[in-house]
Amino acid sequence: MAAIDNVLQRIDANSSDALARLFELLRIRSISTDPAFTGECVKAAEWLAAELNAIGFTASVRETTGHPMVVAHAKAGRTGVPHLLFYGHYDVQPVDPIDLWESDPFDPKLVERETGAKIVGRGAADDKGQLMTFVEACRAFRETGGLPCDVSILFEGEEECGSPSLPAFMAANKDELSADMMLVCDTGMWNKDTPAITTMLRGLYLEEVVVRCADRDLHSGMYGGPARNPIHVLSKIIADLHDAKGRVTLPGFYEGVAELPDEIAEQWRQLPFDEHQFLGDVGLSVPAGEQDRSVLEQIWSRPTCDVNGIVGGYTGKGSKTVLPAEASAKFSFRLVGKQKPDAIAESFQAFVRARLPEDADVEFISHGASPALQLPFGSEALSRARRALQAEWGKEPVMAGSGGSIPIVGAFKRDLKMDALMVGFGLDDDRIHSPNEKYELSSFQKGARSWARILSALSA
């Protein structure tokens, strides 16, 4: 029997204990955003450090200016193996509105349903249930001969409140946190039976544009006509940013945007994704955006430009015949592939300036920029992880994109030059951040088995 089969058997044998351990962790009220629960966050960190020490890691609770980190290390029995860093977070979202919960959010329950058993409680899916899949995989290795590779673990306690302590902690512990690759279990499956690897995260460039014309608000009777209206100026800029086919018109915008490999494009075409259902759920029916791209492609692998907010002039009830002195809009660009945020910022600012009439001034207020992240489709690690998941689930894992960003992944890529393998077992209906959060029992159990297979595959 291959070594991995022993490990998988051990995971199965451990499963009721594993569930009991997860429930212990779920009972800790580690709400990071509310200072009333600071002690509970410390308690969760200590609980995790103790668990990791118990299975052969050298684990410690590390102070930060906010909630503590847990850092742990364990070596494989041999050299010449990769060193992997697993990231997860032990903090959870608040539980409001509490009266919508069907049971106490911090008294986790296993609920049997027609679609299978579910673990219900705050943090079940985000992220305690997910991170424990990895811990249980490590435990099974430990109990059957040892880890196949060097493993470090970082558990954070501030993910749900913006990770304020993380940058300084990373800078201060750069060497300790460096590894060959990062493993992240904070994403989802395609559906209950089909695993997914998130290989692409869109980047984001945020820029606020303030257009100013006259030096005060003017009466539209007195000045209407000859006085420049900044709302018109701004609207023209916004209107010019897309062509009739939904493409962004910014010069150079699509530089670094590659077409999908044929294999991935074909996989996406075959996915049972109902565009009309996806849009219909939010009251829409017709895809906007690039007309020659599917909805899935647009969200997972295409860049966008959107205005997230606009304001100018009188916005109260009724009317006011004012010509405002200024108007402003907040733009966001989702970036993919090798698009360069700096180059796009430069192009955008030039695009805006080119559309300013003589009497209009512009102020740019940057709200940050980060490039897209992509685990190269051709990478060996990705191929191995795909095969590992295929073996566990009996289905080819979906090579998913993610429309949004995961800041931690960007930070590790930027500061420690580490790529991330993002595999998670959440489902769209897990109600993370909402009442009655749940995690499929099958996700928890097969998730642990999946990590065992992945660690083994990456170490071969």
291 binds a second copy (CB under 8 A): no
Closest distance to a second copy from the beta carbon of 253 (Å): 14
Beta carbon nearer to a second copy, 268 or 393: 268
Instruction: Find the binder of a second copy among 94, 256, 287, 407 (CB under 8 A).
Output: 287
Beta carbon nearer to a second copy, 310 or 416: 310
CA contacts within 13 A on the Cβ side of 70: 28
The alpha-helical segments, DSSP class H, found in 55-165 are: 128-143
Residues in 417-436 that interact with a second copy by CB under 8 A = none
Stretch that binds a second copy, among 96-104, 115-123, 165-173, 219-227 (CB under 8 A): 219-227
Instruction: Find the binder of a second copy among 176, 208, 396, 415 (CB under 8 A).
Output: 208
Residues in 79-108 that interact with a second copy by CB under 8 A = none
Binding mask 360-399 for a second copy (x = CB under 8 A): -------xx-------------------------------
Beta carbon nearer to a second copy, 49 or 209: 209
Closest distance to a second copy from the beta carbon of 294 (Å): 9
Closest distance to a second copy from the beta carbon of 381 (Å): 25
Closest distance to a second copy from the beta carbon of 275 (Å): 8
Closest distance to a second copy from the beta carbon of 440 (Å): 21
How many other CB atoms are there within 10 angstroms of residue 179's CB atom? 21
Q: Residue 443: left if φ>0, alpha if ψ -120 to 50, beta else—which one? A: alpha
402 binds a second copy (CB under 8 A): yes
Give the burial class of 259: count Cβ atoms within 10 A of its Cβ; 0-12 exposed, 13-18 middle, 19 or more buried: exposed
> Long-range pairs for 380-383 at CB < 8 Å and ≥24 separation?
381/181, 381/419, 381/421, 381/458, 382/197, 382/199, 382/421
Beta carbon nearer to a second copy, 115 or 321: 321
Residues in 220-259 that interact with a second copy by CB under 8 A = 220-229, 231-232, 234-236, 238-242
Beta carbon nearer to a second copy, 127 or 207: 207
Angle between helices 441-459 and 128-143 (to 10 degrees): 50
Cβ neighbours of residue 69 closer than 8 Å, sequence gap 6 or more: 45, 61, 62, 154, 155, 156, 157, 165, 169
Residues in 144-173 that interact with a second copy by CB under 8 A = none
From the list 410, 399, 377, 386, the residue with the least C-alpha distance to 184 is 410
Cβ neighbours of residue 17 closer than 8 Å, sequence gap 6 or more: none
Closest distance to a second copy from the beta carbon of 70 (Å): 28
Instruction: Find the binder of a second copy among 257, 307, 345, 416 (CB under 8 A).
Output: 307
334 binds a second copy (CB under 8 A): yes
Q: Give the binding-site size for a second copy (rule: CB under 8 A).
A: 80
Beta carbon nearer to a second copy, 124 or 372: 372
Angle between helices 3-13 and 441-459 (to 10 degrees): 160
Instruction: Find the binder of a second copy among 192, 330, 387, 431 (CB under 8 A).
Output: 330
Encoded tokens for 5: 């089969």
Closest distance to a second copy from the beta carbon of 331 (Å): 9
Beta carbon nearer to a second copy, 35 or 368: 368
Q: What is the DSSP string of 370-431?
A: E--EE--TT-HHHHHHHHHHHHHHSSPPEEEEESS--HHHHHHHHHH---EEEE--B-GGG-
Closest distance to a second copy from the beta carbon of 17 (Å): 37
Closest distance to a second copy from the beta carbon of 335 (Å): 11
Q: Are 91 and 128 in contact (CB under 8 A)?
A: no
C-alpha 82, offset from chain centre = 25
Separation of alpha carbons 458 and 419, rounded Å: 14
Residues in 104-133 that interact with a second copy by CB under 8 A = none
261 binds a second copy (CB under 8 A): no
From the list 200, 196, 159, 231, the residue with the least C-alpha distance to 337 is 200
**Kind and range of the H or E run holding 368:** strand 361-370
Amino acid 86 reads F
Instruction: Find the binder of a second copy among 44, 84, 182, 213 (CB under 8 A).
Output: 213
191 binds a second copy (CB under 8 A): no
401 binds a second copy (CB under 8 A): no
Q: Are 322 and 313 in contact (CB under 8 A)?
A: yes
Instruction: Find the binder of a second copy among 304, 339, 445, 450 (CB under 8 A).
Output: 304
Q: Are 210 and 349 in contact (CB under 8 A)?
A: no
Beta carbon nearer to a second copy, 409 or 455: 409
Beta carbon nearer to a second copy, 118 or 202: 202
Instruction: Find the binder of a second copy among 99, 292, 358, 380 (CB under 8 A).
Output: 358
Instruction: Find the binder of a second copy among 311, 350, 354, 460 (CB under 8 A).
Output: 311
